A = this chain, B = another copy of it.
Amino acid sequence: MKKDKVNIYDIAEMAGVSIATVSRVMNGSDKVSEKTRKKVMEIIERESFTPNVFAQGLGLHTMHTVGILVPDISDPYMSAAVAWIEKGLSENGYDCILSCSGFEPEGKQRHTEMLLSKHVDALIFLGSTYAGSGKSTEETEYIRKAAAQVPVFTINGYVKGDNIYSSVNGDEEAVYEVTKKLILKGRRKPVFLTDSGSYSALKKRKGFERALRECGIEADESTKIHVENTIYGVRDALLSKKESFDAVIAANDIIAVGAVKYATAAKRKLPEDLEIVGYNNSGLVRVCEPELSSIDNKTEQMCRDTVKRMIAVLENGSTVENKKVVISCDFVERGTTDIGG
Contact = CB atoms under 8 A, between A and B. Distances in A.
B100 A99 contact: no
How many copies make up the complex? 2
Interface stretch (A80-88, A172-180, A194-202): A80-88
A286 interface: yes
A215 interface: no
Contacts of A90: 100
Interface size class of A (residues with CB under 8 A): 35 or more
A59 B289 contact: no
A287 B1 contact: no
B73 A86 contact: yes
A118 interface: yes
A59 B1 contact: no
A76 interface: yes
Given A62-B118, A76-B76, A98-B99, 16 more contacts: A3-B10, A19-B57, A58-B60, A65-B114, A65-B118, A73-B79, A74-B82, A74-B83, A78-B79, A82-B100, A83-B100, A95-B114, A231-B287, A257-B287, A264-B289, A284-B287
16 contacts: A58-B58, A58-B60, A62-B114, A72-B83, A73-B82, A74-B83, A76-B76, A76-B79, A76-B283, A79-B79, A90-B100, A97-B99, A232-B286, A284-B284, A288-B288, A288-B289
